[in-house]
Structure 1
Amino acid sequence: MEYAKLLQEYGPAQSEAQVAEEVARLGEIAVRNRTTEVYTFCYSAIDLTTLSCTDSVESVTELARKAVEFYERFPHIPNVASICIYPPFVETVGVAVDGTDMRITSVAGGFPSSQTFLEVKALEVGMAIENGADEIDIVLNVGKMLTGHYDEAASEVETIRAETDRDVVLKVIIESGALRTPELIRRASLLSMLAGADFVKTSTGKIDVAATPEAAVVMCRAIRDYFEKSGRRVGFKAAGGVRTPEDAALYYTIVEEILGPDWLTTDLFRIGASSAANNLLTAIEGHPVKFF
């Protein structure tokens, strides 16, 4: 498909100055969302993540065990949306969470650089799904985006989407910190959606610049514009650097203001986090909580 031509149907991104102005405005509004109710929802939208070179069957099992224990320890708080791990640990998590409604997310497709053969990417995604992953997070080829090879970047997503069942949620990470400009962030978001993404996600968390409110504003505007043309709702995921309850409330506000209340469900809004989980629990409970 000639994706670059499809981009012509959409207007340009806001300027950096316009984005900064909107972020400032939304930051002021976000104060109203620093509430227990919003923090509780944000906790339920977390993809509880461990993506370290030190991960092991033992450490991942312990994280999953704690997530399952949460149901009994905090029955008044909806549990996290999913556990996010590398592909070899999908079965490990599956065994640990069996009998619960916990979803399993796996990064795949050459995460975090996306620099491998497309066949390898598709195979890794397929193996993660075969082992029990409900959701897959892949990385858009940033090198191709930076050099203007938009059709090639989007076609990779299309190929991987074709290899997955429709009930598997596909999140595409655009690595917004590497793209830097509002225009490239907008194009990457639109290309991902046009190629079949169910979510667009800010970051891998593996480079210096992760999720930013500025990138979130641009991405959510692209999601809105895509919905207005296609009628298909695509979700937004902020990941990398989301640590405090105030961070979570700001991203919640960006989604609320740009996309509206229909997007404030865990089917369309996620937060990729590890440290944020305890910090949100502390805010919800009103005293220090170090559960994970």
Structure 2
Amino acid sequence: MTARTTRTIMSETSAIAPRAQALKMFDGPVTDESLRRFLEGIPGVDAVGLEQRAAALGTRSIKTTSKAWAIDTIISMIDLTTLEGADTPGKVRSLVGKALTPDPSDASCPRPAAVCVYGDMVGTVIDALGSAHGEISVAAVATAFPSGRATLSVKLADTAEAVAAGADEIDMVIDRGAFLSGRYRQVFDEIVSVKRACLREDGSAAHLKVILETGELTTYDNVRRASWLAILAGADFIKTSTGKVSPAATLPVTLLMLEVVRDWHRLTGEKIGVKPAGGIRTSKDAIKFLVTVAETCGEEWLSPELFRFGASSLLNDMLLQRQKLRTGHYSGPDYVTID
């Protein structure tokens, strides 16, 4: 692609209307100056207070009946994920089989919200889901996941191909280098452009999850600014991590992102989802996140439409805990599939 073509694309995307509320908030076009003034004017995060609040929420106890409900709710919020270079159609079909029947010994077990794969595997997931496609969504990572190091044209083609293949949801990554360099308008325009690439021919659109990769943003202040930026640009969900960078989803970072979503809802009435991804492997940890959601945004966020877990191994522990509540004893690891 020539430099002229790239400039033309950027010029065209600059004219795309971002989230309507952003225009109202800035009282006019979104510019580098207005974005910088807004984002850098956001009050700094009280790191000690944030971490203390997260720690306190993590100590809440859950009674047996509530725990049973929590386990089923968490299972229904999982994006069952495989994002490896060694993924094969057979491995993906096996993962879909697990999504369709998480616990063969108990037909009442809920299904996860989505199966998340690379874009070239979308068709395989759809074929394997059959009539269950709709109950279980198909999510695809895009925009040169996980690094985000590619030209805009490549990122848009990556997104458009996944949507054309039938993806219901797109998980994009922001350009962390641009964000950390203070090029907020570039990041904003890319999100707006990817949002447009999520449009289908029939006028509907795939939901857009924007991955901040919080482990590379370094500070809580940057996480807060990136969350606001993504929402202003049109994110349907804000997501912590790719799962490829450590630290991934931590409770304090997720709490901070939930606070941004709560504040946006109070300001505009719009509901934005949150997705922690990476490193959440046990029911004990997942329940802490569930409590944090309820205490921060309210119980209406306790649904797959507004909260997800990006995970591959979490489902196994949830199934073992669920079997324990049902039978009174723990099953061995051979009672669940090997991922």
**TM class by shorter-chain length?**
over 0.9
**SS of 2:144 mapped into structure 1:** coil
> Is the 2:281–2:314 Cα contact (8 Å) retained in structure 1?
yes
How far the C-alpha of 1:32 sits from its partner, in A, is: 5.6
Paired residue for 2:45, among 5, 9, 14? Answer: 14
Map of 2:273 onto structure 1 = 235
How far the C-alpha of 1:13 sits from its partner, in A, is: 4.0
> Is the 1:30–1:249 Cα contact (8 Å) retained in structure 2?
no
AA in 1 matched with 2:34:
K
Map of 1:182 onto structure 2 = 220
> Is the 2:160–2:197 Cα contact (8 Å) retained in structure 1?
yes
- More divergent stretch after superposition (105-114 vs 158-167): 158-167
- More divergent stretch after superposition (15-24 vs 69-78): 69-78
> Is residue 290 of structure 1 aligned with residue 329 of structure 2?
no
> Is the 1:45–1:270 Cα contact (8 Å) retained in structure 2?
yes
Map of 1:42 onto structure 2 = 74
Q: Which structure has the larger Rg over C-alpha atoms? A: 2
Q: How high is the TM-score relative to the length of structure 2?
A: 0.82
Cα distance in structure 2, aligned partners of 1:66 and 1:42? 16
Paired residue for 2:230, among 186, 192, 195? Answer: 192
> Is the 1:4–1:150 Cα contact (8 Å) retained in structure 2?
no
Cα distance in structure 2, aligned partners of 1:30 and 1:267? 25
1:141-152 mapped onto 2 (5 Å cutoff): 141-152=175-186
**SS of 2:58 mapped into structure 1:** helix
How far the C-alpha of 1:245 sits from its partner, in A, is: 0.3
Cα distance in structure 1, aligned partners of 2:32 and 2:111? 38
- Overall identity of the aligned pairs, in %: 35
How far the C-alpha of 1:108 sits from its partner, in A, is: 0.7
Relative to structure 1, the CA distance from residue 127 to residue 72 in structure 2 (aligned partners, 3 Å threshold; closer, same or farther) is same
AA in 1 matched with 2:255:
V
Cα distance in structure 1, aligned partners of 2:284 and 2:211? 23
Map of 1:107 onto structure 2 = 141
Cα distance in structure 2, aligned partners of 1:224 and 1:4? 26
CA deviation string 1:9-39 (max 9, x = no partner): 8742422111111112211225569712101
**SS of 2:131 mapped into structure 1:** coil
When the two structures are aligned, how many residues end up with a matched partner?
292
> Is residue 172 of structure 1 aligned with residue 201 of structure 2?
no
Cα distance in structure 2, aligned partners of 1:246 and 1:157? 34
How far the C-alpha of 1:74 sits from its partner, in A, is: 3.2
AA in 1 matched with 2:284:
E
AA in 2 matched with 1:181:
T
Unaligned runs of 5+ in 2: 1-29, 325-329
Map of 2:193 onto structure 1 = 159
> Is residue 273 of structure 1 aligned with residue 314 of structure 2?
no
AA in 1 matched with 2:52:
E
> Is the 1:3–1:154 Cα contact (8 Å) retained in structure 2?
no
> Is residue 26 of structure 1 aligned with residue 64 of structure 2?
no
> Is the 2:101–2:111 Cα contact (8 Å) retained in structure 1?
no
AA in 2 matched with 1:37:
W
CA deviation string 1:160-213 (max 9, x = no partner): 101222541100000011112111000111101100000000000111211001
How far the C-alpha of 1:72 sits from its partner, in A, is: 6.0
Paired residue for 1:219, among 257, 263, 282? Answer: 257
How far the C-alpha of 1:3 sits from its partner, in A, is: 6.3
CA deviation string 1:84-116 (max 9, x = no partner): 000110000010001112210000111001110
**SS of 2:171 mapped into structure 1:** strand
Unaligned runs of 5+ in 1: none
Cα distance in structure 1, aligned partners of 2:33 and 2:148? 20
Relative to structure 1, the CA distance from residue 82 to residue 263 in structure 2 (aligned partners, 3 Å threshold; closer, same or farther) is same
- More divergent stretch after superposition (200-209 vs 62-71): 62-71
Relative to structure 1, the CA distance from residue 4 to residue 102 in structure 2 (aligned partners, 3 Å threshold; closer, same or farther) is farther
Relative to structure 1, the CA distance from residue 3 to residue 231 in structure 2 (aligned partners, 3 Å threshold; closer, same or farther) is farther
Cα distance in structure 1, aligned partners of 2:113 and 2:44? 31
> Is residue 98 of structure 1 aligned with residue 136 of structure 2?
no
Cα distance in structure 1, aligned partners of 2:93 and 2:161? 20
